[in-house]
Structure formats: C-alpha cells, structure tokens
Chain A
Amino acid sequence: MSMKSSSRQVNGITIIDISGRIVLGEPTSALRDLFHNLIQSGQKKALLNLSDVNYIDSSGLGALVSGYTSFAGQQGELKLINLSSRVHDLLRLTKLLTVFEVFNDETTALQSFK
C-alpha cells in the first residue's frame, strides 16, 4: 500500500492525516515536499496523524526528523498523534520518542500548542 496524505486546518493548526507505508522512495519524498510546502506557506504548527501508518523504515524516520527540524528552524512545531504499536516501538528504539511530542488523541494534542 502506497502512502496517502490529506491536510485539514483546526484552530490555525495543520493536521496531516497519513495512511500507508512511509518508506524509502516516493513516500518519503512526498512527505518531505509536504513539510516544505507547509513551511513555505507560513504554516508553523503541524500535527502528523499516524493512526493509519503501521510500517515505517529508517528513511521514513529520517523524513519525520527532517520535518521536525524544518519546523523548529522556523520557530514552529511538528508533533505526532496516534502512533501504532509498531511505529511507537521504532520511535522508542531509535530514541525519537525523546525528540517528538507524541499524543494519543487529537484534542489534547491541539491544546498543547502555545
């Protein structure tokens, strides 16, 4: 299953719903482009909903880190919600859980933005 994404706005925060596999090649390129376009259009607060992502490789993790640093570089924030157990395990293994703010529900995540 290839990766699909859609975006929506809630209270000035962009929520990106991702489904499929975030892996080397077209999916990670598309995700990097998406982050780039959001930042270029002035969006500085984003929430990545990974509820329908249960497969991610090291290139996909790299794309997430790229998004994190890109938003942070513009005094913005990229946060994660609804990690599947496998994605959660990979973020724990790679200690990226210490980098990203991760939430289990959208409402709490939205309230966490300043």
Chain B
Amino acid sequence: MSRGRSDTEGSTSSNRREYSLASILHNVDAAERLVRMFCERAGYTTQQCEEIGLAVRETVANAVLHGNESDPSKRVILTTEVKECGVEVSVRDQGRGFDPNSVPDPLDPQNLLKESGRGMLMIRTLMDEVSIECTKQGMEIRMIKYLTNLSGGGAKHEHEIK
C-alpha cells in the first residue's frame, strides 16, 4: 500500500491491482500513469498504452468531476486486471450515475461547437469492449483493450482482433 501526493492507495496481486483514488483532478494524471505502467508490463505497444491511458483519463475525469462531483471524501476505485484477451480496466465512482444515452451526440452538427461531451465517444473508440453499470453504490465502467502484440513480454494471450 502506498500513499503519495495524489492520495492514492493500492493493493496488488500478481495480475490484478486496485487503487483507491481521492476525487481530485491530479489523480486523473496519476491513474493514467498507473495504468500505462501496468499495460507496458503486460506487453502492450507504446501506442496501445497511450490509447488505454487516454481512455482511462476520460473515465477517471468523468468519475471525479461528474460522478463524485469533486467531493474529496468520495473515492474512485481503479482496477487493472490481466484477462485472457487483454487487460481489463474498471473505474468505479460513488456518484449517482447517469444514463449514457442521455449524453448529446457530440457528432451531431449542432453539438460540434460544444466544449464537452466527447469523452465517451473517445473511450468507446479507443477500447475494444466497454460496459457501463449503474448501482446504488455508484457507476462502474469496465474497459478491455485486446492484447494483439505478443512481442513485448509479460502477459501473452492469443486473441483475434474484433
């Protein structure tokens, strides 16, 4: 377990890590760093790690800003786990959740000049599988990026690209 400037707590096992992050903006950067390190060790390419890192940024930013409404007493639970097809990242907040279908389509011409609303589009594009679950305890987004490059060492699982 560690505690640093970004107020994170973590637990580890051989192929799974869980972190409890305070709902502060700095932890968006921290989450990206943690997941990228995990994915580099799992064997993803640099570009894949960047894509996963960007999806994690968007997800954790949503959890901090919208889910937990920047309430520092609420936590964001970040989990990374090696699965058969690749790494699964889940981000769970303690907010009231939202209906993903209620977010205006950022590609609609009348929304192109809006300053926000592109995060979910980016997450769905950058990751291979995305699922959203809303419970009374908060909202959880699970994302998987298939591990298609097998030359980097670490987790090596064959999987067909979707």
Q: Is B118's beta carbon under 8 Å from chain A?
A: yes
Residue from B28, B107, B115, B125 in contact with A62 in the complex, judged by beta carbons closer than 8 Å: B115
Pair A58/B58 contact, Cβ less than 8 Å: yes
Q: How far is the CB of A69 from chain B (nearest CB, A)?
A: 6
Pair B58/A68 contact, Cβ less than 8 Å: no
Residue from A23, A58, A66 in contact with B122 in the complex, judged by beta carbons closer than 8 Å: A58
Report if A25-B115 is in contact (Cβ < 8 Å); known contacts: A57-B54, A93-B125.
Answer: no
Q: Closest residue of chain B to A72, judged by CB?
A: B113
Chain A residues at the B interface, C-beta cutoff of 8 Å = 23-25, 55, 57-59, 61-63, 65-66, 68-69, 86, 90, 93-96, 98-99
Pair B25/A94 contact, Cβ less than 8 Å: no
Pair A24/B115 contact, Cβ less than 8 Å: no
Residues of A near B29 (CB, < 8 A) are: 23, 25
Pair B107/A94 contact, Cβ less than 8 Å: yes
Residues of A near B118 (CB, < 8 A) are: 58, 61-62, 94
Q: Is B50's beta carbon under 8 Å from chain A?
A: yes
Pair B61/A93 contact, Cβ less than 8 Å: no
Task: Determine the distance from Cα of A57 to Cα of B62 in the docked complex, in whole angstroms.
Answer: 12
Task: Determine the distance from Cα of A66 to Cα of B114 in the docked complex, in whole angstroms.
Answer: 8
Residue from B25, B54, B113, B121 in contact with A69 in the complex, judged by beta carbons closer than 8 Å: B113
A sample of 9 more A-B contacts (CB under 8 A), given A24-B25, A25-B28, is A24-B28, A57-B57, A57-B61, A58-B61, A58-B122, A62-B115, A69-B113, A93-B122, A95-B106
Q: How far is the CB of B19 from chain A (nearest CB, A)?
A: 18
Residue from A24, A55, A63 in contact with B50 in the complex, judged by beta carbons closer than 8 Å: A55
Q: How far is the CB of A31 from chain B (nearest CB, A)?
A: 12
Residues of B near A62 (CB, < 8 A) are: 115-116, 118
Pair A24/B61 contact, Cβ less than 8 Å: yes
Residues of B near A95 (CB, < 8 A) are: 106-107, 112
**CB-contacts of B11-37 with A (<8 A):** 25-26, 28-29
Residues of B near A86 (CB, < 8 A) are: 50
Q: How far is the CB of B44 from chain A (nearest CB, A)?
A: 16
Q: Closest residue of chain B to A68, judged by CB?
A: B113
